[in-house]
Amino acid sequence: MTEELVIPGRFNGPPHSGNGGYVSGALAALLPDPAGTPVEVTLRRPIPLDRPLQVRQEDEQYVAGDADGAVLEARLADEVVDPIEPVRHDEAVRAAVDFPGFDRHPFPTCFACGTEREDGLRIFPGPVPPTPDGPVRLAAPWTPDGSVAEELWPVTWAALDCIGGWAADLEDRYLLLGRMTGVVDTVPRVGEPHVVLGQALGSEGRKTRTAATLVDSDGRVVARALHTWIEISAETFARLGRP
């Protein structure tokens, strides 16, 4: 099995590489019967845009790469991906007012959470008032529009991506998505208001774990994810913003 994977320039995270969630979802879609099943995607290095990657199957793993080696890898996983307790849409709207990226955003042209992208998802998560003894959650409203109707599977993964970074304090730390395990139970419906939720799960050394959940207007779970973020140097992080 050999296929090509091309990430269009629209779906960037940093200015010159693919949004980690979108790219993960695009590769996950090539696995057999991925709907409703956890798929683990590991990102090895920044994902080139508008350039074909060769996808090959190695045992139970699908590997996308180029002449320099593997860029990302996907496999079916048996990890439990629990959903986050949802909030109402109006609560998510109020939370988004306090999105930290309005004041300081490392990648303002990111397809998923970029404040300078009118053609992006414009998912701007802010903190939700915590319940007694409950974890701190972030929430944002999101309504898929017609421009993503043909890309709903990878776009769902993109919607679940950046909120994890913000839950891990992206405004104050230099973080890259290293791994994402996603479960798409059903793709979201275009034109229907949804809520995206994020939550930090803990840190160990340079790694921080977070979770994300997407729910529809009735509070039903549409998709969910776990992330592993890797803390990197300021110099390496800054290079992501340059060609």
Tens-digit pLDDT profile for residues 113-154: 999 999 999 999 999 988 777 788 999 999 999 999 999 999
* Residue 73 identity (one-letter amino acid): E
Asked whether residue 243 carries a pLDDT value surpassing 50, the answer given is no
Residue 83 pLDDT > 90, yes or no? yes
pLDDT at 130: 81
Q: What is the pLDDT of residue 59?
A: 87
Q: Which pair of tokens denotes residue 200?
A: 């930090």
Q: What is the mean pLDDT of the chain?
A: 93
- Is 203 exposed, middle or buried (CB count within 10 Å of its CB: 0-12, 13-18, 19+)? middle
Helices (H), 16-171: 20-28, 89-96, 152-159, 162-167
Percent of the chain clearing pLDDT 70 (strictly above)? 97
Task: List, as one string, the DSSP characters of 19-43.
Answer: -HHHHHHHHHTTSSS-TTS-EEEEE
For residues 128 and 147, what is the distance between their CA atoms, to the nearest angstrom?
A: 29
Q: Report the predicted TM-score, pTM, of the whole model to 2 decimal places.
A: 0.94
Q: Please state the rounded mean pLDDT for residues 86-106.
A: 96
Other C-beta atoms closer than 10 Å to the C-beta of 243 total: 5
36, 148, 212 from 201: Cα distances, Å? 22, 30, 10
112: pLDDT strictly greater than 60? yes
**Average pLDDT, stretch 180-193?**
97
